[in-house]
Amino acid sequence: MKAAVVLGLGQSPAYADFPDPEPAEGAHLISVTASAITPLARSRAAGAHYSSENTFPFVAGMDGVGRLADGSRVYFLLPKPPDGGFAERTLAPSAQCQPLPDGLDDVTAAALANPGMSSSAAFARAGLGTGETVLVNGATGAAGRLAVQIAKRLGAKKVIATGRNLALLEALGADATIPLVADSEAQETLFRDAFADGVDVVVDYLWGRSAEGLLAAASKVGARRRLRFVQVGSASGGEINLPSAVLRSIPIELMGSGLGSVPYERLMASLAEVFRMAESGGLSLATRTLPLSDFAAAWALDDSATRTVLTMGAQ
């Protein structure tokens, strides 16, 4: 079969032949129809993600949509190595497969699944309640944009979004926006104004300097409400400087949300909720499609504004 194959550490996936997956107990053989190129898929392919196994060769792609032998449509998460999502066929654990609603097409499901599951799982980790205020740090990426929409659907009273394209965030339904600026002191001042009115949940896709500013601002304002800070992505850096005073001065809970920190059954439950929202037309994400045979061109595209979905066979 054809697939996007990683031959060694540091090598980009290449369109090539790869052996068909062998049937295995507790797993589904899936004819893949659509699989999205995500930051997680790129990171795992490069061997840079903490969940990377780096046993070569392997097929890139961590999830997708396809057909079972009986024709039913499923979303699948983390196929069994060395198989992956960027292939004509794959093998995925049955417990990590989710039936698709009839009203949701394959490409939309593939595009929404990873960022939507990321956002929904983060809110579940935080225990977001109706009427609470959410701040999404780094809301212009795919997951951040969906987090703004999902927070509103989950009953958040107010959603504050940070980013560089404020018009986009307002169009998605953010109640307030905060620009990300280069000056650290100016940035912290902007963040303090947000915390002065009260924030219950922060979902952070950036980490790095902006996360430091958020934590410092919350500490200096002296938040009285319990603040749940959920770390999801690290687009701005993998480490921060965390003063001990932040942990002592406010009622804060720091937690992560991702592979390993969230059980697979909870991830799949979060995904089912995202699919229900999407089927009713409540979520939007810009997408483009290319066939698997154009993998090299698809891999080179900038996915910051538009999610690229590889397609295989009949949709």
Instruction: Identify the pLDDT of residue 168.
Output: 82
Counting residues of the chain whose pLDDT is more than 70, the rounded percentage is 99
- The side-by-side arrangement of strands in the sheet containing 14-17 is 14-17, 2-6, 58-59
Cis ω for the linkage preceding 82 (within 30 of 0): yes
pLDDT of 53 above 80? no
Q: Which fold has domain 115-256?
A: Rossmann fold (3.40.50)
Please report the DSSP string for 241-300 in residue order: ---HHHHHHS-EEEEE-SBTTB-HHHHHHHHHHHHHHHHTT-----EEEEEGGGHHHHHT
pTM value surpassing 0.85? yes
Confidence of residue 311 (pLDDT cuts 50, 70, 90): very high
Q: How do residues 205-222 score in pLDDT, each as one tens digit?
A: 999 999 999 999 999 887
Treating both helix axes as pointing N-terminal to C-terminal, what angle do 142-153 and 264-279 enclose, rounded to 10 degrees?
A: 80
Instruction: Identify the pLDDT of residue 9.
Output: 87
Rounded to an integer, the average pLDDT of 161-173 is 87
Confidence of residue 314 (pLDDT cuts 50, 70, 90): low
CA distance 298 to 104: 23
Does the fold of domain 115-256 match that of domain 2-99+285-311?
Answer: no
Helices (H) and strands (E) in the chain, counts: 9, 16
Superfamily of domain 2-99+285-311: Medium-chain alcohol dehydrogenases, catalytic domain (3.90.180.10)
Q: Tokens 């409400």, residue?
A: 225
Q: Which two tokens stand for residue 150?
A: 């999902």
Q: Which two tokens stand for residue 139?
A: 């809301």
Least confident of 106-120, 155-169, 219-233: 219-233
Report yes or no: 229 and 215 within 8 Å, Cβ to Cβ: yes
Rounded to an integer, the average pLDDT of 279-288 is 88
Q: How do residues 256-274 score in pLDDT, each as one tens digit?
A: 998 788 888 888 888 999 9
Neighbour-count burial for 146-171, b at 16+ CB within 10 Å, e otherwise: bbbbbbbbbebebbbbbbebbebbee
Report yes or no: 13 and 295 within 8 Å, Cβ to Cβ: yes
Instruction: Identify the pLDDT of residue 303.
Output: 78
Rounded to an integer, the average pLDDT of 30-46 is 93
Q: Which two tokens stand for residue 174?
A: 């953010």
Confidence of residue 176 (pLDDT cuts 50, 70, 90): very high
Report yes or no: 135 and 215 within 8 Å, Cβ to Cβ: no
Instruction: Identify the pLDDT of residue 266.
Output: 86
Report yes or no: 233 and 162 within 8 Å, Cβ to Cβ: no
Please report the DSSP string for 116-174 in residue order: HHHHHHHHHHHT--TT-EEEEESTTSHHHHHHHHHHHHTT-SEEEEEES-HHHHHHTT-
Mean pLDDT, the chain, whole residue set: 92
pLDDT of 7 above 90? yes
Q: What are phi and psi of 183, to 5 degrees?
A: -80, 115
Q: Between residues 166 and 251, which one has the greater pLDDT?
A: 251
Instruction: Identify the pLDDT of residue 223.
Output: 65
Instruction: Identify the pLDDT of residue 280.
Output: 87
Rounded to an integer, the average pLDDT of 94-118 is 94
Amino acid identity of residue 7, one-letter, is: L
**Dihedral angle over CA of 86, 2, 97, 8, nearest 10:** -50
**Dihedral angle over CA of 167, 273, 156, 122, nearest 10:** -80
Neighbours of 53 (CB within 10 A): 11
Q: Residue 17 burial by CB count (10 A; 0-12/13-18/19+): exposed, middle or buried?
A: exposed
Q: What are phi and psi of 169, to 5 degrees?
A: -65, -40
Confidence of residue 127 (pLDDT cuts 50, 70, 90): very high
pLDDT of 64 above 90? yes
Counting residues of the chain whose pLDDT is more than 90, the rounded percentage is 71
Q: How do residues 134-143 score in pLDDT, each as one tens digit?
A: 999 999 988 9
Rounded to an integer, the average pLDDT of 230-255 is 92
Q: In the chain, what are the domain boundaries?
A: 2-99+285-311, 115-256
Rounded to an integer, the average pLDDT of 114-125 is 92
